[in-house]
Structure formats: structure tokens, C-alpha cells
Amino acid sequence: MTRAPWAPATLLTVAAAAILLTLLPSTAGKPPSAPLRPGPLDLSRCDLQGLFRDLEQYQVFNAPHHQGYLTDHSVWTARAIANWFAQGDEWVRGIPERLVDVTLLGALLHDVGKAGDPAVYAGPTDDSEFQIETCGGGDCRLLFNWKDGHPRTGFEYLAGRRTYHWLVEPDDGCAAWRQDLGRYLQCSCPLTNEERYVLSLAVGMHYSFGDYLQNPNAPGDYLDRFLAYSSQLEDALDYRPDVQGAAQLVELFCAIGAADVWGAHEAKDPSDGAHRAFLEPFRAEPRYLVQGSQWPYEKYHYDKAHQKMRDLSSYVRANWPPRPGRSRS
């Protein structure tokens, strides 16, 4: 006897499956939580125009050595990194090829913690840290002098621990994630979990590692900071570098810290075609020039700090602990 194509048991199975599907949360429009591509980040796939329209609302008056507004300095810092990669500079020789583009992205966004914070545009504070420019026609730009704690604020944005408040709301395909900047960027580029981890820590640690290069501080303090930031992301992203990867990331953080100081003054366009094309759309004019100021990269001897980077990388390589509950890699 021929079996009916839709026997009662089959119909029950299909019905049960349909009910289960209706109970599952929708993933439409959500960024990937795991790698969806075999290769490293491709910056040509990143769409950061919406974010940069917001960042352009912020000016920076970080006298006496910081030139440019927030976006100018951000692009100059990224240009410095791109040129170092093109030249094979000591700062970037220890960074693996798969992390080249995310390093450039980290340099470009290293000061994102200076934006998106309601405290900045709540009005002048007692210590005049923040000021709002008086402007006409509804076109107001925000001025600030330093914004203490901006690296941690930036990390918290990218780690999904703090809401990013937009002045110019994005209208792109990732706008649904606009308050969670980490997911917004993971959608906009897109980023793998490893790349989001690297980007988040690079933003959070660029200043402290840059400070290490200038001052005689104990390397153990910086390993502790690395681990403290890392622990906040490992479970959410299911990623933690092994010993070799941690040592490479130390050099990545130091490179961005050094590029941050290089980019306090205008940096030239990168010679690498792909990196130049990626940075081209972002405004980087020499606005707010500090007349007669000495270039801080040389003033603070960053041009002679490469060995300190290598020393810290070696220290981390020798002392990186295994992930809790797992054997050492």
C-alpha cells in the first residue's frame, strides 16, 4: 500500500517545528556574533560615514600640543599607523597581518570616548573641562579640553556597557544598533568577535600604553590592566588570546599609543592605496593649529621608545596566565 505523503505523524512533526520556530528570537538585522568570513577584516566593507558625521560635531582644544579637531586628530593617528605599516616601521613589525586593518580601525576610533557622552553637552562644568561654543543658526559644535577617562568610556561603548548618545542620528542599515556602539560597528564593518575584542581593548588602553612608553612604570601594572579589560569581554565574545597573541596585542596597543602622539600634528596621507582609499572620505583638515608648538612625538621621545614596547611584550609573553578553568595555551 502506498503511504500518504502527509501522514498524521508527519503533520504533527511539521506543526511542532512551526511552533518552535515562532518561539525562537528573530535574528533579522542583528550583527554576527561569530566569524562569517575566512579572511581578516576588509576595510573596504566598512561604512563609518554615519559615525563620523556625529564625531565631527566635536572640537578638541587640548592645548598646548594637540592640533586639529576630534576627527582631524583621529584621521592623523590612523594615517601614522598606515604609513608605519607601509614602511615596515618598528612600531608595527610584531602585529600579525590578519590584524593590520583592525589596528588601523583602532587608531581611527581611539578617541571615540570623547564623544557620545551626555556629560559633555550638559553645559560647562565647575572646572571648565567642557564648554559649549556659542553659535548661531542652530549650528553648535562642542568644545572640550581633555575629557578625563575617555579611554575607559570608549571601551565601555565598544563592550556594550555604556550607551552612546548621538547628536546626529545615523540612518544607515545598522542604525538599529546605534545605542550599542560595539554592535553598531560589528554590523557596519563587519567585525569578527576577535576583531571586536581587539578594537575594544585598543580604544580602552591606547592612552595607558602610550603613557608606559614615556614613563618608567612597572610592566606588571600594564599586564594587570590588560587582564582587567580582557575579563570584561572574554565570556561575551567567547575569545581570549593565547600567550603569543597577547604579546602581539601589547605591541598593537603601544603602536596606537605612539601614533596618538604622532597624530597630535597633521600626518601625511598613507602611501598604501587601500588604506588611503579607506581614510579618504574622512575630513582631516589642519584646524586649530597651535602656533610654534613642538611636535610631541619628538618632545616626549617616542621616536626612541621602541625597546620599551618590546620589553613589555616580552614581559607579557612570560607572565600571561591561562584562562580561568582552562589549561595554558
Radius of gyration of the chain (CA): 23
67 and 73 in contact (C-beta within 8 Å)? yes
Phi, psi of 164 (to 5 degrees): -90, 125
What pLDDT is stored for residue 138 in this prediction?
A: 45
Contacts of 249 (CB under 8 A, 6+ apart): 198, 201, 226, 241
Nearest alpha carbon to residue 186 among 41, 44, 82: 41
Nearest alpha carbon to residue 70 among 163, 137, 135, 167: 167
Which residues of the chain carry a pLDDT beneath 50? Answer: 1-38, 61, 63, 123-140, 326-329
Phi, psi of 137 (to 5 degrees): 70, 20
Q: Which grid cell sits at 250? A: 601589547
Q: What's the rounded Cα separation, in Å, for the pair 174 and 183?
A: 9
36 DSSP 8-state letter: -
Q: What's the rounded Cα separation, in Å, for the pair 29 and 173?
A: 8
What pLDDT is stored for residue 310 in this prediction?
A: 95
Q: What's the rounded Cα separation, in Å, for the pair 183 and 205?
A: 20
What pLDDT is stored for residue 167 in this prediction?
A: 86
106 and 82 in contact (C-beta within 8 Å)? no
Within a 13 Å sphere around the CA of 202, how many CA atoms are in the beta-carbon half? 33
Q: Encode pLDDT of 235-244 as tens digits.
A: 999 999 999 9
Q: Encode pLDDT of 2-25 as tens digits.
A: 444 444 444 444 444 444 434 444
Contacts of 305 (CB under 8 A, 6+ apart): 213, 214, 258
Sign (positive or negative) of CA dihedral 113, 294, 130, 280: negative
Model pTM? 0.81
What pLDDT is stored for residue 282 in this prediction?
A: 85
- The stretches of the chain forming alpha helices (DSSP H) are 8-23, 49-55, 70-87, 100-108, 150-158, 181-188, 193-214, 219-231, 234-237, 243-262, 273-279, 296-299, 306-319
What pLDDT is stored for residue 22 in this prediction?
A: 42
294 DSSP 8-state letter: P
